[in-house]
Amino acid sequence: MVVRTGDNYLQSISNRSKVEIYVMGKEVKDVTKHPFLKPSVMSFKATFDAAWEEDTKELGRAWSPFLEEEVNRFNHIHRSPEDLAAKVKLLRKLSHKTGACFQRCVGWDSLNTLNIVTTMMASKGKKEIRDRFVEYLKYVQKNDLALAGAMTDAKGVRNLKPSQQPNKNAYLRITEVTKDGIYVSGAKANITGVAATEEMVVLPTRAMGPEDKDYAVAFALPTDSEGVKIVVGRQLNDARRMEEGEIDGLPYFYNHEGLVIFDNVFVPMNRVFLAGEWEYTGTLVEIFSAYHRQGYGGCKAGLGDVIIGASADLAKQIGVDRASHVQDKLTEMIFLTETMYSAGIAASLNAVKMCDTCWWVNPMHANVTKHLVARFPAQIAQLSIDLAGGAVGTAPSEWDLKNPKLKEYISRYLQGAEDFTAEDRLRMIRLVENVAMGVAFQIESVHGAGSPAAQRIMFSRLYDINFAQEVAKKLAGRKSEVKFTPKAEPWRDSQSEAEAKELKTKS
C-alpha cells in the first residue's frame, strides 16, 4: 500500500525497538503511549489520515512520476505552481485538524531540496548521487514514510565558521570515510517531530567554504540507527500534558522538537548525498529555506483560523460578540491571517521552474511570507488574549471543576451567557492559552526556517537596489544608465525555465 492510513503509521511508529529517545531525562520506549509525545504522534497521524478524509483527500495525495502511482503529498516532488499552492492549502487545512504543527514539512522540503540539488549535481557530472537520491525518494514514497528534516546544528559560537569553532563538533561533521559509507559526529538541534519519525533527512545548515569541507554533509538515515540519541525539548506549558487531564492541556494534538545527537554514526554510502561538496551548500540552504518559508503561509494561517474561531466563540460566550471593538479586533485578526496566506499563495503560484518537472517557490514572496509570520502571530495572539479576557491567565483548573465541593460554584461563576456551560468556557480558554501562546505559534513562527535576521539578509540579496537607484536617478532628471532592464529576477518577472538559469548556475 503506497498511501498509508494513520493507523498504519501509528502501528509502525509504536514498534520501534532500537530508538533512543529521552523526555525530561527519562528514556521513552513507545512514543505513542507517552503523555508528552502522544499529542505529537497524533499530529503526525493527521497527515496520513488527511489522505483519506473527505475534505482533504484530493489535496492530500498527488501522482508521482517516480512511482507512476499516487503518493501521500507530504512525500511528493512539486511538479507545478499548482502543486506548490496545494501544499499551502493542505497545510492550512491540517492546522484546522490539529491546532498544532504537524511536523511533516521539514522532511518534505528536504526531499524537494535534494531533488533540485542532485539534479544540478547530475548536470555537473555527479550522476551517481542523483541516482542514489532517486532510489531513496522512491523508497520513501513507496513506503509512505514519516520523515524528519534535520538541518540546524548546535552552532556553538555564532560568529565563527564550523572549522573555527572551539568545539569541533559544534557542527555535524564527517569523521571518517570508508568505501561503504561515512561516519558522522555532532548534533542537530530543534529537529521538529523527530521522535515520531521513521527516517531523518540530514542537511547542512549554512553555506560553507572549502575549509569547512568536513561539515558539508547530507544524508538519510532511519531514526532508530545505532548511535543516534534524541533528547526531546521542553515547551511552554508542556508539563500540563503529564497531568493526563482532558481539558487543561488542550488541544490533544501537539508537536515537539528534539536535539539529535550523532555519536560516531555510520551512514551507508547509498544514502549519502553530500560528503565534502561544500560548493552546493549555499544553494541547498537557500532552496530549502525558501520552500520552508513558503509553507508557513499555510500552517500559520490555519492556526490563525483556530485562534480567530476560539476568540469569536469566547466573545459570544460572555455576550460581547456584537461590540464594535470586538468585531474590529476579529477583523484585524482575519486581515493578519489572510495576509500571511496571500504571501504563501504568491510564493507558490508565481513559482520558478528549476527542471523539467520540478518547481521551486518564488524566493522573494517566500521570504515575505516567513517575515510576516515572524511578526503577525504575536499580534494575533495579543488580540486573542484581549478578546479571551483575563480568565485566560486566571481560570481554575479542570480538577477544580471536577471537585464535588467546588463544581457548583465554578459552574455558576465561570459561565457567561446561558447557552454555554462553564466547561465550554474552560475548554475554549485552554485552547487559546495553548495554541495562541504555544510554541508553534509564538516561537516557531519567529525562528522556524530561519530567524527574522535571515530573511532580511535575503531581502537585500534578492532585491535589485541598484536598479531602484537608477530608476530614481532617471526620474530625478539625473544622468542614469537605466534602460529599465534590471538584473534577472526570475521570481518577479516570469515563470520560465530559461530565466531560472542564473540561479542554477550559481552553484
Within positions 308 to 337, which residues make up the interface with a copy of itself, using CB under 8 A? 308-310, 312-313, 316, 318-320, 323-325, 327-328, 330-331, 334-335
Question: Looking at this protein, which amino acid is placed at residue 200?
Answer: M
Q: What residues have CB less than 8 Å from 301, skipping those under 6 apart?
A: 92, 95, 337, 338, 340, 341, 344
Among 101, 171, 281, 291, the one annotated catalytic: 101
487 counts as binding a copy of itself under rule CB under 8 A: no
Task: Kindly report the number of other CB atoms within 10 A of residue 209's CB atom.
Answer: 14
Among 277, 286, 444, 470, the one annotated catalytic: 444
93 counts as binding a copy of itself under rule CB under 8 A: yes
Question: Looking at this protein, which amino acid is placed at residue 247?
Answer: I
Bridge-based pairing state of the strands 358-360 and 61-64: unpaired
Contact status, residue 233 vs residue 259, Cβ threshold 8 Å: yes
Choosing from 77, 120, 431, 503, the residue that interacts with a copy of itself (CB under 8 A) is: 431
Between residues 269 and 349, which has the closer beta carbon with respect to a copy of itself? 349
Task: Kindly report the number of other CB atoms within 10 A of residue 22's CB atom.
Answer: 16
Choosing from 1, 418, 481, 487, the residue that interacts with a copy of itself (CB under 8 A) is: 418
Beta bridge partners of 265: 184
Assign residue 18 a region: left if phi > 0, alpha if psi is -120 to 50, beta otherwise? alpha
Q: Which three cell numbers stand for residue 2?
A: 503506497
**Segment near a copy of itself (CB under 8 A); pick from 66-74, 205-213, 453-461, 498-506:** 453-461
498 counts as binding a copy of itself under rule CB under 8 A: no
Please state the closest distance from residue 202 (CB atom) to a copy of itself, in A.
15
Active site residue 291: no
Choosing from 41, 345, 354, 500, the residue that interacts with a copy of itself (CB under 8 A) is: 345
Binding-residue total with a copy of itself (CB under 8 A): 166
290 counts as binding a copy of itself under rule CB under 8 A: no
Question: Residues 197 to 256: which contact a copy of itself by CB under 8 A?
Answer: 229, 231-240, 242-243, 246-248, 250-253
Between residues 114 and 343, which has the closer beta carbon with respect to a copy of itself? 343
Contact status, residue 344 vs residue 369, Cβ threshold 8 Å: yes
385 counts as binding a copy of itself under rule CB under 8 A: yes
Question: Residues 155 to 174: which contact a copy of itself by CB under 8 A?
Answer: 155-160, 166-167, 169-170
Beta bridge partners of 258: 191, 232
**Segment near a copy of itself (CB under 8 A); pick from 10-18, 106-114, 200-208, 424-432:** 424-432
Choosing from 137, 187, 218, 265, the residue that interacts with a copy of itself (CB under 8 A) is: 187
473 counts as binding a copy of itself under rule CB under 8 A: yes
Choosing from 122, 349, 355, 488, the residue that interacts with a copy of itself (CB under 8 A) is: 349
SS3 string of 417-476? Answer: CCCCCHHHHHHHHHHHHHHHCCHHHHCHHHHCCCCHHHHHHHHHHHCCHHHHHHHHHHHC
Active site residue 358: no
Among 56, 152, 192, 337, the one annotated catalytic: 192
- Give the H/E segment covering residue 296: helix 281-317
Between residues 26 and 179, which has the closer beta carbon with respect to a copy of itself? 26
497 counts as binding a copy of itself under rule CB under 8 A: no
- Give the H/E segment covering residue 218: strand 217-222
Bridge-based pairing state of the strands 21-23 and 228-232: parallel
Contact status, residue 502 vs residue 490, Cβ threshold 8 Å: yes
Q: Give the residue among 186, 164, 155, 160 at the shortest CA–CA distance from 173.
A: 186
Task: Kindly report the number of other CB atoms within 10 A of residue 407's CB atom.
Answer: 13
97 counts as binding a copy of itself under rule CB under 8 A: yes
- Residues marked active site are found at 101, 105, 192, 257, 292, 296, 299, 444
